[in-house]
Chain A
Amino acid sequence: MMSNNSNTASRQFVPTPAQPAPNMSAGFVAWVRDNLFSSISNSIITLIVIAFFVSVIPGIIDWAFISATWSGADQSACNKEGACWVFINAWSQQLFYGSYTDGELWRVNLCLILLALTVISSFTLPKSFRLKLSIPLFLVLPFICIAILDGRLLGLEYVDTDYWGGFSLNILMAAAAIIISFPFSFLWALGRRSQMPLARSISVILIEFFRGIPVLALFFMGSVMLPMFFSEGTNVDKLIRVWLVLIFFMSGYMAEVFRGGFQAVPKGQYEAADSVGLSYWQKTLLIILPQVIKVSMPNILATFVMLFKNTVFLLIIGIPEIVQTLQTALSNSNWLGGWAIEGYVFVFLIFWVCCFGMSLLASKIERDLDTDKRD
């Protein structure tokens, strides 16, 4: 019986402890097999890529870190084997702020902070008045910043636009242009969808004109052609001219972004608005616009990144943005050692960090705005 009992007990189901997966199907080895050596052709490609990295990366690390010179006062501290970060260090203020008056740099910083705060406020404010508050905030921001940077209106020391420059100028130019292009592009996009022939044809001509011309050609027009139309002695500041050009260029692109947004809003929304008796502008501003902004957000941000990178083209008309400043630095007779690689690597990095940060921000904003699919 005892044996019987124990037999019964032993018959009770006791699961065998799980065996670890075979080495070949889990863990690092399996990952390598699955992803890197899953077929002969994949294995060959993997080996080529590894060989490439092995041959290139140590050289880059050696150049950028091990043999590099980090501290010193001038180029005599540098050697030709490694990167000369002394060059970037010495020119960092110029590269970031341009020749903006030394003691007044806080004004540039203030503008950048205001810009950041406005951007943050546009998706952290309570929803009930977010749109009502952040749109006016955005629209006045460029003018506030111009007043701060220029200084005359606020009783600060006057800093001529010739002294504005560096990477901060890239950021502020791009931001100021895209913000002001919003209302223009919105109107152009409305005009393009309008039933009125005049409004429609004007919008189409403007949009296609500014979209059809390379931004470089537009810059030349702003810097070289526009002054010829003015009477002698009349000067519109070069930066303002270029800003206008950027605004119109951007408006052309953004109008198409918005048009896509208008088309994405279901027809029922228009009809519903009409049926409750809203006027054209009530319908557009209260019902359609919020939805348009929501669906267009990814494209708006992508366009902004494009514009931000396009601001380096300002160098060809001599605006001292970051690449122009870099070229100026490279042509200084005390820095003729050929430090172009260091300079451009620095510019790559700083742009990459900013653009990557913006795409992270963009995906966060998209998730916030994506109310449709939320349960």
Chain B
Amino acid sequence: MTSSSAPSRKALSKIACNRLQKELVEWQVNPPAGFKHKVSDNLQRWVIEVNGAQGTLYANETYQLQVDFPEHYPMEAPQVIFLNPAPLHPHIYSNGHICLDILYDSWSPAMTVSSVCISILSMLSSSTAKQRPADNDRYVKNCRNGRSPKETRWWFHDDKV
């Protein structure tokens, strides 16, 4: 599965390393509501537990996000995917890939893991139907060789969910 394959595993640059350490400290002091960072000594890959917000379709459900950081983070976006099983959502493919613009074209180095997490929870929370994207099967088939979602040319068309 793509979920276990890492993006190009180049070590973090000094600046990426430094920033991530600070982000982690900040996370520990002030974690975003609904998220839990699973402790590990791997700074380059964070696994984060997401709790669906109460009152949404995903209430009382827990999912896992895997965040892989590229060498040139934060100039480059992290790769963020859901580990299996991925939540049923019109913008989340069964292989865990997430169609969310800030993870790709709209990434900004001013964003942080924490802000990305909250955006993803917001996306989950605003869903009105638990269903896969219409082109799920085709897309997942195309990704079978373990392609990163960052290589996908995403087309962001729905600003509602």
A and B found bound together: no
